[in-house]
Amino acid sequence: MADEQPQTAAAKQLLLQKIYVKDLSFESPKAPAVFQTNASPQTQISIRTGSQMLAPSTYEVTLTLTVEAKEQDATIFLVEIAQAGIFSIEGYTAEEQGMLIGSFCPNTLYPFAREAIADVIGRGGFPQFLLQPINFDGLYAQAVRERARGDGQTVGATPSAGETH
């Protein structure tokens, strides 16, 4: 009949329910002596993401950032944050859902983690520290390529299982 509407797919919906700091630590093992030197530390940044299904269509996504500043072999400071969020994701294909959990959600969490890291480093007595933007789309695409090649041993098989990159 002319007035019948075709069945539509479930409406796509992505909701951010909560953002929170799951874990935060700061160490400055050489303080206060480090403040009396002209150290020019090298900084390394490590990024990990993970997720777990809390309920059907509800996921906790965790972005873990570790920043370590070293002068030669001596650690000047070390800060690690696990910034997490609870996301409701409905109506997406498995591939789309994987992209959201592996890229969109960490990208949403990153500004909060970046601000917390800058704040704690400043409170530790060090100059302002600015983390540069991160291309989570590129990191996720790389993780997918590695998984397809069989190289990505730490990459979760599904969006709800473990690390995504």
Q: Is the pLDDT of residue 21 over 60?
A: yes
pLDDT digits (tens, 9 = 90+) for 113-159: 999 999 999 999 999 899 999 999 999 999 999 988 885 444 333 33
Q: Give the pLDDT band (50/70/90) at residue 3.
A: low
Beta-bridged to residue 87, according to DSSP, are 16, 59
Angstrom distance (rounded) from CA 91 to CA 11: 5
Total H helices, total E strands in the chain: 3, 5
Write the CATH number of the domain with boundaries 13-146.
3.10.420.10
Reported as type and span, the H/E element at residue 58 is strand 58-71
Res 9: pLDDT: 58
